[in-house]
Amino acid sequence: MSDSLNALIQKVTQQLAVIYHDVALDMTHQALAERLVNEMRIGETDTPPAPYSNHWSEQDVIMITYGDSLIKAGEKPLNTLRDFADNYLQDHVNCIHILPFFPYSSDDGFSVIDYSSVNESLGDWQDIQAIAQDKKLMSDLVINHCSSRSLWFENFVKGEGQGHDYFFTANPHDDLSQVVRPRTSPLLRRTETANGEQYVWCTFSHDQVDLDFRNPEVLSQFIKIIRQYLDNGVRIFRLDAVAFLWKVAGTKSINLPQTHEVVRLLRTLIEHAKSDAVIITETNIPNTQNLTYFGNANEAHCIYNFSLPPLLINTLITGNCLYLKRWLMSMPPAQDGTTYFNFIASHDGVGLRPAEGLLSDPEIGELINTMKSFGGAISWRTSESGEQKAYEMNISLFDALQGTTNGPDKWGMQRFICAHAIMLALEGIPGIYIHSLLGTRNDYEKLKNTHHNRAINRHRWDYPTLEEKLADQDNPHAKVLNQMLTLIDIRTNQKAFHPNATQFTLHLGLSLFGFWRQSLDRRQSVFCVTNVTDQPVELPISELNLVITESWLDLISGLEISDLTKAIELQPYQTVWLSNQK
């Protein structure tokens, strides 16, 4: 055995000892480590990953989509998606996150029946591979729970076969008062099994039954699943709802030390199998808790910037950037080998837990009421004290930004593009929901048919109809796509927008939100400033302290800054990216 392989086994052994320190196993930690390394097929010739390596650049932009967000009669949706990418995304967007593309029973894919198969209504593994040949592919690893209709759970009910011991059960008399829930449904599902009545832990819904990672067979199965995804071209893993993975009665059962160690273990195995593979943790929790998933640059490569969507929307509907600026100032620079995953819209709603402690309850209440007035819905959770609290706002981003707290206005398009101009320039990798690229509005019909709040922002486009709209340059959807791709193209050509480039917050009052980016080689500086109000605002150039010996221009408009002593007037929701390099 090579020294590097032996070192890997010893590292995994130590990680397993932390995870299972109070769990009796029928094998040693080292024997389990050797098994997992073998299941991941890490061999003597695999090169250990270089520490603190950034596997990304300013050219990385991820589009988030369902496999069937675009539908064309007689064609597999994954082929339609690939056609859209070929015809419209081309070199603008180099990564695609396909939301769960497996057979499922509920939650639009997040209740997985079979992890090893592609949902036949979408296509097959060859279609996934074809997309992975042209774009970096991001996939969900729905690791906390699976479907109650899965073979595993059927075997649990029967009390025999693979899966019979894969699920977490509890006693209704256990102390579960502290458990953090993202839903209002009962935590435990009463289930009749061959072994008698059992109560299965369900963090989300009773169709999404939680897996029991105290059983190393569950971990082993997921290592095999990860290996299969790697073989089929997946290079970015989104660990769905991973914060809830380890449970202990009498605790909050969220963010437990064993959960963090499992993330570290998965990173170790994944990056030894494919040195450029990346883990992103999906932890929709308060900001300070979310940041812990970086670890010491040894857990997630990327974490979702969950506080960005509610704070940015709040800024643009109030015309006041105070809270967004405070938050940005408090965010630590990501170490090399880690970065933020920035997004402002997704298949889920706009989470409110990440705004807790950043916005006051009355301010969150005003935000909620404004979104409701714009046609949005609100989803609720049960808090630790048993009260009902707003968990997320369900609304398309285009509709969320159609106006201010005073109501709808004429600035909706500008406000929407402005939000993305801010997001695209921030430290981190930008992720853009397909419905943001297309300016899709609230889908009230789907909401009515499904009775699921999140359906409002999960529209399915008839692809030929969409093509007609995109061919008409005066159509709002075509205007949105063209403006978005233009901004993306500017971003991907600026070294100062590398995900790990330096970032400092600017202090320009409450109407102007700004920050400074500097490239890793320190040659390029970009001052990113946005008027977040519906009135013109003057930007005093002198307050930016631009170096007088350099030439400055706005990358977005092309305006050259010839006099550094004068102010320039920013129109409502206008953004400038002032750079010393073209």
**Residue whose C-alpha is closest to residue 162's, from 111, 115, 107:** 115
**521 marked as part of a ligand binding site:** no
State the Cα–Cα distance between residues 478 and 571, nearest whole angstrom: 23
**235 marked as part of a ligand binding site:** no
**517 marked as part of a ligand binding site:** no
Annotation marks residue 240 as catalytic: yes
The residue type at 35: R
**239 marked as part of a ligand binding site:** yes
Q: Assess contact for 410 and 421: CB atoms under 8 A.
A: no
353 contact partners, CB below 8 Å, separation of at least 6:
182, 284, 285, 286, 306, 391
199 contact partners, CB below 8 Å, separation of at least 6:
169, 170, 171, 172, 188, 189, 190, 191
**DSSP of 286-351:** -HHHHHGGGTTTTS-SEEE-TTHHHHHHHHHHHT--HHHHHHHHHSPPPPTT-EEEE-S--SS-EE
**145 marked as part of a ligand binding site:** yes
Alpha helices for 122-185 (secondary structure H) = 125-134, 151-158
State the Cα–Cα distance between residues 11 and 159, nearest whole angstrom: 35
Residue 120 burial (10 A CB sphere; 0-12, 13-18, 19+) = exposed
Q: Assess contact for 306 and 351: CB atoms under 8 A.
A: yes
**Residue whose C-alpha is closest to residue 399's, from 422, 377, 378, 371:** 371
Of 68, 210, 212, 240, the active-site residue reads 240
Q: Assess contact for 573 and 411: CB atoms under 8 A.
A: yes
Q: What is the dihedral of CA 259, 265, 271, 272, to 10 degrees?
A: -170
**507 marked as part of a ligand binding site:** no
Task: With both helix axes pointing from N to C terminus, report the angle between 412-425 and 476-491 in degrees, rounded to the nearest 10.
Answer: 20
State the Cα–Cα distance between residues 53 and 56, nearest whole angstrom: 9
Task: Strands of 70-226 (E only): list them.
Answer: 70-71, 95-98, 136-142, 145-147, 188-193, 196-201, 208-210
**238 marked as part of a ligand binding site:** yes
CA torsion sign for 176, 180, 185, 188 is: negative
**231 marked as part of a ligand binding site:** no
- Phi/psi region, residue 74 (left: phi>0; alpha: psi -120 to 50; beta: rest), is left
**Residue whose C-alpha is closest to residue 544's, from 582, 577, 500, 511:** 577
What is the H or E stretch that residue 380 is in?
strand 377-382
**Residue whose C-alpha is closest to residue 204's, from 267, 263, 147:** 147
Task: With both helix axes pointing from N to C terminus, report the angle between 3-19 and 29-39 in degrees, rounded to the nearest 10.
Answer: 120
**Residue whose C-alpha is closest to residue 477's, from 572, 398, 556:** 398
Task: Report angle CA 559, 564, 570 to the nearest 5 degrees.
Answer: 50
**Residue whose C-alpha is closest to residue 66's, from 48, 80, 54, 49:** 80
- Phi/psi region, residue 558 (left: phi>0; alpha: psi -120 to 50; beta: rest), is left
Tell me the catalytic residues.
240
Binding positions: 107, 145, 238-240, 347-348, 454
Binding positions for substrate: 107, 145, 238-240, 347-348, 454
